[in-house]
Amino acid sequence: AFTVDKLQQAYVADSSNAVTKYSPSGQEQFRYYDNSRGRLGYIDATDPFNLLLFYPDLQAIVLLDRTLNERGVLPLFAAGVLQASAAALARDNNIWVYDEAAFRLLKLGPDGAVLADSGNLSALLPDPPRRGAQLMARGNWVYLNAPGQGIYV
């Protein structure tokens, strides 16, 4: 898996869950490795100074600084999230999470405090997202890609 930030720096995750940051010219800059959290599911490099790594197996989010040093770990179970299937950075450096078990989109602080809650989407929508594959926050909008269903805004 890989992604590129707005400064054209690439972040590559290999099969051992090591994340390597490369400069725009392709030179390795920094490396992060922690294999204790299971498979790395997603890298959000929306903010090149604040990266988000999502580990769905252990329901954990890791926040890294620009040199890939760990700034914090958020165990989602401790935040009351039952089964997160997607996570992303919010515009204000908080965290968006889709809890597929509760059909809820949540905005969490770095400490796990719930800052915003969509409520139960199965009560609000005729066909709520059953599984979120990817979340993305741009401007004042949050996008949830639900395979086979479409993109929810």
Q: Which two tokens stand for residue 70?
A: 């760990």
Is the per-residue pLDDT at 56 higher than 90? yes
- CA–CA distance from 89 to each of 26, 125, 150 (Å)? 25, 24, 21
Nearest-5° Cα angle at 125, 122 to 131 = 55
Average pLDDT on 122-134 reads 88
Between CA 143 and CA 153 the distance in angstroms is 5
Q: Inform me whether the pLDDT recorded for 120 exceeds 90.
A: yes
pLDDT in tens, 98-119: 999 999 999 999 899 999 999 9
| 132 pLDDT above the threshold of 90 | no
What is the pLDDT at residue 88?
Answer: 96
Beta carbons within 8 Å of 10's beta carbon, 6+ residues apart: 2, 3, 4, 21, 22, 26
Three-state DSSP at 64 gives strand
Model's pTM, two decimal places?
A: 0.93
**pLDDT score of 92:** 92
> Which has more confidence, 69 or 35?
69
Nearest to 125 by CA among 147, 99, 104: 104
pLDDT of 1 over the 90 cut: no
